[in-house]
Amino acid sequence: MPQGLSPGSYPVGPGGRPDVPPGLLRRSRSALAWLSMTVLGLGTVLLVILLVLTGGPTALLLTSALAALSFPVLIMICFWLDRYEPEPARYRIAALSWGGVVAVAVSLVAEQALFALPGTDTFVETAIIAPVVEEFGKGLFLVFVLLLRRYQMHGILDGIVYAALVGIGFAFVEDVAYYLSALDEGALSTTVFLRGVMGPFAHPLFTSATGIGIGIAATTRRPGLRWTAPLIGYSVAVFLHAIWNGSAFWGGRGFFLAYLGIMLPLLIVVLALAMWARFREGRMLTAALGDIAQFGWIQPYEVRWIARLSDRISARAYAKRIGGKPALRVLQAYQQTLIEIAFLHWRAVHGTPPRDINQRMTRLLQYAARLRPYVLLPSADGPPGPSMATWRPPQLPPPVGQPGPPRVW
């Protein structure tokens, strides 16, 4: 028996590997998920057709490749920031797709209508209308996440990550359009340098202001701040976008002043804020998992394999080596489930629980109990305790500062 396994606690199949039941890791998609995938898929097809008609397939392939070079590093930074409580892959893809499809479509339609208003000129269109419309289109994704999937928005860091991914998707499609135009005008190299080398972070930076506001609204206890924080964040996003677009009318000196004096310092500020929030998430996760272990929901030795990033990776390598890909997938699902439980517990303790916390907490704990018999973990401070296969919903201590009987989530 491999080290760290408790005889009789892990159902095994041929070869001594976990006999994971089919369907244990399969989760059904909601009607909203299917609708979102359909809309985004159709929008992507229409957008590609429009771009092909604009520049032709060869030019589209060239400009798409050039635009794609600018964003892998930014996406990797987003994923690195999001490692403690990683957002589901489908939400990350949805954020990128929203920015590249829905936000672009909303901006295209609204800008064409507003540009036709009397009294508009190039400056008004570029420095006022475009920022207002484009930040609105990008920010809608964050609003929908807050309203429809609020449990996926745990704070400022999630707001920044989602906003940056939406901005990256938007910037990619916008860059393709600009590169197609520059290719016809013979200015492709200059445009690629200005947009792809100097300013690929611009749209993610603008929209991150909205994301910060949404993240605050998702976690604050103050009702007034829940409404004002997103509005302030959106206003800041529009203001930054307006400065960036307006600097093009101030000549080279004005552009570099805005770039070096405003945008780069703000980028550093946002990154610093995100890293602080990431560090705080790590401490919060460790503390919440410690509480969960005290409740008896998990064994104390399991905390390190979920809370510490390096140990989380080591545990996955161990599970894959001992049990193959099925064991790896089970452990990943188990870790993610306990992370969600920890964040939900933290919100309850700090007075910002969702309305359906009872149902969600019970559902998550039951799913963790179903996974636990098939989880392979390295040993730590002794062998694993009893299997969670016989788990029953535990009782929680009373709310902080309030005596009385245990509270049910």
How confident is the model over 53-104, as pLDDT tens digits?
Answer: 888 889 999 999 999 999 999 999 999 998 888 888 888 999 999 999 999 9
Q: Quick one: which H or E segment has residue 298?
A: none
Name the β-bridge partners of 12: 18
Which DSSP symbol is given to 372?
A: G
Contacts of 166 (CB under 8 A, 6+ apart): 95, 96, 98, 99, 103, 138, 141, 142, 207
**Which two tokens mark 316?**
């996955």
Determine the Cα–Cα distance for residues 131 and 112; give it in Å rounded to an integer: 14
pLDDT of residue 8: 36
Q: Which helix (H) or strand (E) holds 382?
A: none
Distance between CA atoms of 151 and 165, rounded to whole angstroms?
18
14 sits in the region (left: phi over 0; alpha: psi -120 to 50; else beta) called beta
What gap in Å lies between CA 142 and CA 179, rounded to an integer?
A: 28
Res. 322 pLDDT band, cuts 50 70 90: confident
Q: Is the pLDDT of residue 39 over 60?
A: yes
Cα angle, residue 119 at apex, residues 117 and 123 outer, rounded to 5°: 100
Q: How confident is the model at residue 114 (pLDDT cuts 50, 70, 90)?
A: very high
Instruction: For 333-344, write each residue's pLDDT tens digit.
Output: 999 999 999 988
The answer to whether 237 and 135 are in contact (CB under 8 A) is: yes
Q: How confident is the model at residue 408 (pLDDT cuts 50, 70, 90)?
A: very low
- Give the helix ranges, DSSP H, for 259-402: 264-295, 304-307, 309-349, 357-371
- For the chain, the domains span 31-281, 296-390
Query: Which residues contact residue 143 at a Cβ distance below 8 angstroms, ignoring those fewer than 6 apart?
Result: 214, 230
pTM of structure? 0.85
Q: What is the pLDDT of residues 174-207, one digit of tens each?
A: 999 999 999 988 899 999 999 999 999 999 999 9
Q: Which pLDDT belongs to residue 407?
A: 36
Do 195 and 172 form a contact (C-beta atoms < 8 A)?
no
The encoded tokens of residue 129 equal: 């209308």
Count the Cβ atoms, other than its own, within 10 Å of residue 290: 14
